[in-house]
Amino acid sequence: THRKKVAGAVGFNVRNGNFCIVRSKTTLLATGDAVRLWPNASGLPFNTWQSPFNNGAGHAMAFRAGASLANMELTVNTLVPKGFSAAGLNAFMGMGAYLVNSLGERYMQKVHPMAEGAPRYLLALGTYREMKGGRGPCYVDSRHLPKEAMHYLTTRLLPVDKDTFMIFCKQKGLNLEKDLLEIDISETQIAGITGSVSGLVIDEEGKTTVDRLYAAGACTVPSYALSGALATGYTVGSEAAKVALTISDAGGYNKEDVEKEFRAVYAPVNRKEGLPCQRFENKLRQIMADYVGDIKTEKGLKTGLEKLKALEEKRDEVKAENFHELMRVAEFRDLLLIGELVAKAALERKESRMGSAHIRGDYPATDDEHFHGSMILKKGRANTIQVTFEPANKTAQ
């Protein structure tokens, strides 16, 4: 930023390491959601429900530039096959499949009148309750579906989200016409997509709270799935381009800030010794799972924040062997900030809300009197995180 306006961005080439300064009249973030913050069903960090390359970079960059984010504590889960973090299981329910527990009982009618037709986050919550209640494992039961429906499901619907899903079933020896498919809860993610309301605060034209910075898609509040990506991409892109045409020059930038960022970016690859980034990222996921996981408490969140701070203080020990690993270090830096934003907001929302999106063990009820609205996060003095509550009947600024 320069004079409280976004003047562009900096980055580096992951192949040759060249540092880039990109000046712009307007800047648009369309970086998607944030994953890789929690362990997933397979244990492989890049086998995520959504794209593993969406690491919250847009959220983090915008926050550092002074933009406001909202509801980072309201996260998203879905159902995935056991051992394979794949999107698309809702296709089963759309075709009429059942969710059953280890006793063979359907359980979603206890959660929602539409049973398996309930919203995605309630499917995850209902399954979570069955597992915690000692009635797991849980399964998708498609054995009653007509052959025509199963053929359409396995050849047209399921391969769309994960084209290797049917290969996975074959390797597991699963025949979905005869066998139950064991399921698990997916890794948690931060998303303005698929029904959550977390991400960058924007107005109807896609402007963030920082001048000349726009955002579209799943990194914003809210942008629902493909329809949201298309609508905001078109409208916000058009608006950002229109405004850019009215600006004669991108303006200058603070050379000291750029030089400081340059030194920080390349420090890990210039370091003679240190630990690989993967160890730090794995530790981050473990902290998030242990203290900022499915059921949160004040004590757990405060402990998690302490551990995240301790992990941040060890960042100078990260060593990158090449520019690809340097990219991973940059991603870890963003993930670490996102983790702290989630924990800070979750600590302030002293209630449970939106099914599995936010469960406080010490505040199990939804409290509309005090928390019907958004938690707004913004950078404070000395790079602190400032959290304020904005009632639903007001516009976040």
Least confident of 6-20, 141-155, 186-200, 278-292: 186-200
Count of residues for the chain?
397
User: Domain 79-185 adopts which CATH fold?
Assistant: Flavocytochrome C3; Chain A, domain 1 (3.90.700)
Mean pLDDT of 126-132: 93
Summarised one tens digit per residue, pLDDT across range 210-229 is 999 999 998 998 767 788 88
pLDDT of the residue at 396: 44
CA angle 65, 333, 277 (to 5 degrees): 165
Q: What pLDDT was estimated at residue 394?
A: 63
Instruction: Map out the domains of the chain as residue ranges.
Output: 8-76+191-391, 79-185
Please give the pLDDT value at position 389. Answer: 97
Q: How far is CA 218 from the centre of its chain?
A: 9
What gap in Å lies between CA 15 and CA 69, rounded to an integer? 32
pTM: 0.91
Q: What is the mean pLDDT of residues 37-44?
A: 88
Closest CA to 1 of 239, 341, 206, 250: 250
For helices 323-348 and 255-270, what crossing angle results, to 10°? 110
- Residue 397 confidence (pLDDT): 43
Instruction: Indicate whether 345 pLDDT > 90.
Output: yes
Per-residue pLDDT, 194: 57
Percent of the chain with pLDDT over 70: 97
Residue 203 pairs with which residues in a beta bridge? none
Report the candidate in 123, 132, 128 with the shortest Cα–Cα distance to residue 88: 123
Least confident span in 75-79, 113-117, 125-129, 297-301:
75-79
Quickly name the fold that domain 8-76+191-391 has. Answer: FAD/NAD(P)-binding domain (3.50.50)
Helix axes 277-291, 298-313, angle to 10 degrees: 170
pLDDT grade for 390, boundaries at 50, 70 and 90: very high
Using 50, 70 and 90 to split pLDDT, how confident is the model at 49?
confident
Q: For residue 120, what pLDDT is reported?
A: 83
Tokens at 35, concatenated: 């994953």
E-only strand ranges, 328-372: 359-360
Q: How confident is the model at residue 162 (pLDDT cuts 50, 70, 90)?
A: confident
Whether residue 157 is predicted with pLDDT greater than 80 in this model: the reply is: yes
